[in-house]
A and B are shown apart, each in its own frame.
Chain A
Amino acid sequence: MKTKIKLFRTTILIIALVFPLAWLYLHAELGTSRKTHEIDLLLLEVIQVETQLTEHILKSRSQLSLHYDDIAHSQQHLFLLMRKLHALLAENINISSLELKSVEQQSQSLQLVVERFKTAKAQISQLQRYLKLLAENVRLLIEDDPHHIINQVDLIIIESFSAYVFGDTPTDNKLINKIKKLEKHASLHQKNTQLLINNLVINFTKLISLKQQENTILNKVFKHEMRQKIQYIRQRIIDNQYQMVSHGNMTLRYLIIYASCLVMLILFFIFNRRHIQKKVSIHKERSERDHLTQLYNRRFFLWQLEESINSSTGALLFIDLDGFKEINDQLGHHIGDETLKSVANKLNSLAKSINPSFFSAQAYRLGGDEFVILIDDMDEHDALNSLEKFAANVVSTCCFYLDKPFQQYNLSVSVGVALFPEQGTNVASVLNCADKAMYHSKHNGRNCYTFYSEL
Chain B
Amino acid sequence: MIKARLLIQTIYISILFLCSTTALAVQGIDGKTHIESQNVETTSIQRYRGFFTPISPVNNLTTEQLKRIALGQTLFEDVNLSHNNKMSCATCHITAKGYADGKSFSQENKGVNKEYNTPSIQYSIYNQYLTWLGAFSTLQEHLDFLITNSTLMNRDWDDLTNQLKTNREYKHLFEQAGYKRISRLSISNAIIAYEASLAIPSRFDFFLLGDVTQLTSQEIKGLDVFITSGCISCHQGTNLGGNLRQKFGVMKDYFPNKISKNRDLGYFNITKNIDDMHLFRVPSLRNVTKTGPYFHDASAKTLEKAIEIMFSYQLGIKASQEDILSIKSFLESLEPVQ
Contact = CB atoms under 8 A, between A and B. Distances in A.
Interface of A: 63, 65-69, 71-73, 75-76, 79-80, 112, 115-116, 118-119, 122-126, 128-130, 132-133, 136, 161, 163-167, 203
B238 interface: yes
Contacts of B27: 63, 128, 161
B53 A122 contact: no
Contacts of A80: 138
A164 B229 contact: no
Contacts of A75: 128
A157 to B, nearest CB: 8
Given A72-B128, A161-B23, A130 B275 contact: no
Nearest to A163: B20
A190 B119 CA distance: 47
A166 B20 CA distance: 10
Contact of B250 (A123, A133, A161): A123
Interface stretch (B144-152, B182-190, B239-247, B297-305): B239-247
B317 A133 contact: yes
Interface string B213-234: 0000000000000001110111
Given A69-B237, A118-B243, 18 more contacts: A63-B26, A68-B237, A69-B53, A69-B238, A69-B243, A119-B246, A119-B247, A126-B314, A126-B315, A129-B229, A132-B29, A136-B31, A164-B16, A165-B16, A165-B20, A167-B12, A167-B13, A203-B316
Contacts of B20: 163-165
Secondary structure at the A interface, as helix, strand, loop or mixed, is helix
Contact of A122 (B16, B138, B233): B233
6 contacts: A69-B243, A79-B137, A122-B246, A123-B246, A128-B27, A163-B20
A115 to B, nearest CB: 6
A130 B245 contact: no
A133 B229 CA distance: 8
**Number of chain B interface residues as a range:** 35 or more
B276 to A, nearest CB: 9
Interface in B286-321: 314-317
A389 B324 CA distance: 144
B157 interface: no
Contact of B53 (A67, A136, A203): A67
Interface string B119-147: 00000000010000000011000000000
Given A72-B237, A123-B233, A166-B16, A130 B137 contact: no
B118 interface: no
A71 B275 CA distance: 21
Name the residue in A63, A122, A130 with the highest tally of chain B Cβ atoms < 10 Å from its Cβ.
A122
Contacts of B268: none
B233 A72 contact: no
B24 interface: yes
Contact of A130 (B238, B246, B316): B316
A321 to B, nearest CB: 90
B26 A122 contact: no
A161 B24 contact: yes
A119 B244 contact: yes
A76 B130 CA distance: 12
A75 B53 CA distance: 18
Q: Which 10 A-B pairs have the closest CB atoms?
A: A72-B128, A72-B243, A129-B230, A118-B244, A126-B233, A67-B236, A67-B237, A69-B237, A125-B233, A126-B230
Nearest to A112: B271
B210 interface: no
B225 to A, nearest CB: 11
Contact of B245 (A65, A67, A118): A118
A115 B271 CA distance: 12
Given A66-B26, A76-B128, A163-B23, A130 B16 contact: no
B128 A122 contact: no
Nearest to A132: B29
B236 A66 contact: yes
B235 to A, nearest CB: 10
A125 B50 contact: no
Contacts of A71: 243
B31 A166 contact: no
Contact of A66 (B12, B13, B51, B128): B51
A119 B244 CA distance: 7
Contacts of B237: 67-69, 72
B230 A165 contact: no
Given A115-B245, A119-B247, A164-B16, A130 B230 contact: yes
A306 to B, nearest CB: 77
A136 B279 CA distance: 31
Given A76-B128, A119-B244, A126 B51 contact: no
Contacts of A68: 236-237, 243-244
A263 to B, nearest CB: 48
Nearest to B50: A66
Given A128-B27, A132-B29, A122 B243 contact: no
The residue in A76, A163, A203 that gathers the most chain B C-beta atoms within 10 A of its C-beta is: A163
Contacts of A163: 20, 23-24
B204 interface: no
Contacts of B31: 132, 136
Contacts of A164: 16, 20
B49 to A, nearest CB: 10
Nearest to B20: A163
B52 interface: yes
A71 B282 CA distance: 15
Nearest to A158: B20
Given A68-B236, A123-B233, A136-B31, A130 B243 contact: no
B17 interface: yes
Contacts of B236: 66-68
A73 B243 CA distance: 9
Contacts of A132: 29, 31
Contacts of B53: 67, 69
A209 B244 CA distance: 21
Contacts of A112: 271
B26 A130 contact: no
A366 B230 CA distance: 121
A76 B246 CA distance: 18
Interface string B266-291: 00000100010001001000000000
B52, B236, B243 — which one has the most chain A CB atoms within 10 A of its CB? B243
Given A76-B128, A79-B137, A167-B16, A67 B250 contact: no
A223 B317 CA distance: 38
Contacts of B234: 122, 126
Contacts of B228: 129
B229 to A, nearest CB: 7
Contact of B244 (A66, A115, A136, A203): A115
Nearest to B239: A69
A119 B248 CA distance: 11
A116 B52 CA distance: 22
